[in-house]
């Protein structure tokens, strides 16, 4: 072992050692840490971070976001407050198509720089891994541009991204559901496949569809998702948000790794998610903003469904702070605080295929964690929009961000 680092030097409390690959090597008392360090024989490489008796929790894994976009939709908030529904805002020229037009006009450089600003803020609020979707391009050029932004690594911003191709986010004016479905299956997915073969876009791991009445119905959603599966992507999609159409039943049938939203999920859907092991990614800020009846989180948990949380950060629901998302989940969906923390870490890691490597403080896992300054960890959820005061350090792969 080399380059191990000891965190939390307060002699009474826990010591954490991280190895040179950025994995947890030891979690335990100080004497055990000292022993391991002296036996590793590489004391030179040891760096000490004194966390002053802070509390360590896993870094947050945000299970659902749309963080690459251009344009401003603040005006829609007033429309929604005045009673307009999500679909009414879209029909009035707002929503996904508004953002798509702005995103098509923006350069790749502008999108990258805006995303990097958001990524820095996400890291500061404790998110160390992010599921992030395309879906504001909706044609070949603009979707590929978004995926390239999501695939770009910037060592100074170590947010880990599991990218999701969401070319089926809306049907643009002048096109039809069938035409979009054909374009996605016959042009876009093959292009992603060939980029991947050349070693590009390697983090494009998931395929998504906004499976919703009057957007992509169950049949075309299934076609797109299965085509994505053939290309090696895991199925992780928007289902039963506004109207029940049987998307979950379809998702369970084709082996979806995760499904999001689920405000309108059926009893049968709950049963199928439980037996198939598909993760329910719940998005409390969206249900809150759109004044939707929240998804039946207690019923999902009671039936053994794995429940995860996502920020759904997008121009409709402008919140990327997972502490706030956990707070919403506790109040509006009746999760307990330990359930919310598990949903925002281990379970959301599982929703993006990282359930064995991320999302927990355990030997061998990625050393992604947050050190809190508070007398109990619950302060990170309890304090409304005041998490900045609670977060002392954010650590990704063993490095303080
Ligand atoms: O998850 N419901 C579809 N997609 C997003 C919203 C995208 C947007 O309004 O820009 C969601 O809430
Ligand atoms: Fe979404």
Taking only the tens place, the pLDDT of each residue in 269-311 is 999 999 999 999 999 999 999 999 999 999 999 999 999 999 9
Pocket lining: 284 vs ligand 1, CB cutoff 6 Å: no
Pocket lining: 95 vs ligand 1, CB cutoff 6 Å: yes
Pocket lining: 332 vs ligand 1, CB cutoff 6 Å: no
Pocket lining: 286 vs ligand 1, CB cutoff 6 Å: yes
Per-residue pLDDT reduced to its tens digit, 56-68: 999 999 999 999 9
Distance 19 CA to ligand 2 centre (A): 36
Q: Is the pLDDT of residue 204 over 80?
A: yes
Distance 235 CA to ligand 2 centre (A): 14
pTM for the model stands at 0.96
CA 192 from chain center: how many Å? 21
Per-residue pLDDT reduced to its tens digit, 22-50: 999 999 888 888 888 888 765 555 566 76
CA-closest residue to ligand 1 atom 11: 312
Per-residue pLDDT reduced to its tens digit, 96-136: 999 999 999 999 999 999 999 999 999 999 999 999 999 99
What are the residues whose beta carbons fall under 8 Å from the beta carbon of 138, sequence distance 6 or more? 100, 167, 169, 170, 172, 180
> What is the C-alpha to C-alpha distance for residues 292 and 311, in angstroms, rounded to an integer?
16
Distance 210 CA to ligand 2 centre (A): 8
Q: In this predicted model, which residue has the larger pLDDT, 11 or 58?
A: 58
Look over the chain and give the mean of its residue pLDDT values, rounded to a whole number.
94
Pocket lining: 312 vs ligand 1, CB cutoff 6 Å: yes
Predicted confidence at residue 3, as pLDDT, reads 46
Find the range with the poorest average confidence among 37-46, 154-163, 211-220.
37-46
Q: Which of 17, 18, 180 is nearest to 97 (CA)?
A: 180
Q: Can you give the residue ranges of every domain in the chain? A: 1-53, 60-351
When pLDDT is cut at 50, 70 and 90, the band that residue 229 belongs to is: very high
CA-closest residue to ligand 1 atom 10: 96
Pocket lining: 387 vs ligand 1, CB cutoff 6 Å: no
Q: Is the pLDDT of residue 5 over 60?
A: no
User: Looking at the CA of 318, which ligand is closest?
Assistant: 1
Homologous superfamily of domain range 60-351:
Metal-dependent hydrolases (3.20.20.140)
CA 260 from chain center: how many Å? 11
Pocket lining: 238 vs ligand 1, CB cutoff 6 Å: yes
How is residue 79 written in tokens? 């429309």
Q: Which of 197, 243, 234, 189 is nearest to 216 (CA)?
A: 243
> Which residues have a beta carbon within 5 Å of ligand 2, which is an ion?
312
């Amino acid at each position: 072992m080399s380059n191990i680092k000891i965190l939390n030097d307060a002699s009474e409390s826990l010591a954490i050692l991280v190895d040179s690959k950025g994995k947890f090597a030891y979690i335990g008392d100080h004497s055990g840490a000292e022993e391991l360090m002296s036996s590793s024989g590489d004391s030179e490489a040891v760096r000490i971070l004194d966390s002053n008796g802070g509390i360590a929790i896993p870094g947050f894994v945000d299970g659902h976001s749309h963080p690459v976009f251009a344009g401003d939709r603040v005006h829609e908030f007033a429309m929604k407050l005045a009673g307009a529904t999500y679909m009414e805002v879209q029909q009035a020229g707002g929503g996904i198509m508004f953002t798509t037009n702005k995103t098509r006009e923006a350069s790749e450089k502008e999108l990258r720089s805006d995303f990097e600003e958001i990524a820095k803020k996400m890291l500061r609020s404790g998110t160390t891994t992010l599921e992030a979707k395309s879906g504001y391009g909706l044609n070949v050029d603009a979707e590929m541009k978004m995926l390239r932004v999501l695939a770009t690594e910037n060592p100074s911003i170590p947010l880990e991204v599991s990218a999701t191709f969401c070319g089926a986010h809306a049907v643009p004016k002048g096109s039809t559901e069938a035409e979009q479905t054909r374009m996605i299956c016959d042009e876009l997915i093959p292009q992603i496949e060939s980029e991947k073969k050349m070693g590009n876009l390697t983090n494009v791991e998931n395929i998504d569809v906004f499976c919703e009445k009057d957007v992509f119905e169950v049949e075309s959603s299934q076609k797109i998702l299965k085509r994505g599966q053939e290309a090696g992507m895991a199925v992780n999609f928007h289902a039963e948000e506004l109207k029940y159409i049987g998307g979950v039943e379809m998702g369970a049938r084709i082996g979806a790794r995760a499904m999001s939203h689920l405000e309108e999920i059926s009893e049968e859907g709950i049963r199928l998610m439980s037996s198939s092991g598909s993760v329910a990614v719940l998005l409390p800020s969206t249900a809150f903003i759109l004044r939707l009846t929240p998804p039946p989180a207690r019923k999902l948990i009671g039936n053994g469904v794995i429940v995860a949380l996502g920020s759904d950060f997008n121009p409709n629901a402008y919140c990327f702070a997972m502490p706030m998302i956990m707070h919403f989940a506790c109040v509006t969906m009746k999760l307990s605080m330990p359930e919310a923390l598990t949903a925002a870490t281990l379970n959301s890691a599982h929703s993006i295929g990282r359930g064995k490597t991320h999302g927990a403080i355990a030997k061998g896992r990625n050393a992604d964690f947050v050190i809190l300054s508070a007398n109990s960890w619950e302060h990170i959820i309890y304090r409304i929009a005041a998490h900045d005061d609670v977060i002392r350090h954010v650590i990704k792969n063993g490095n303080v961000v």
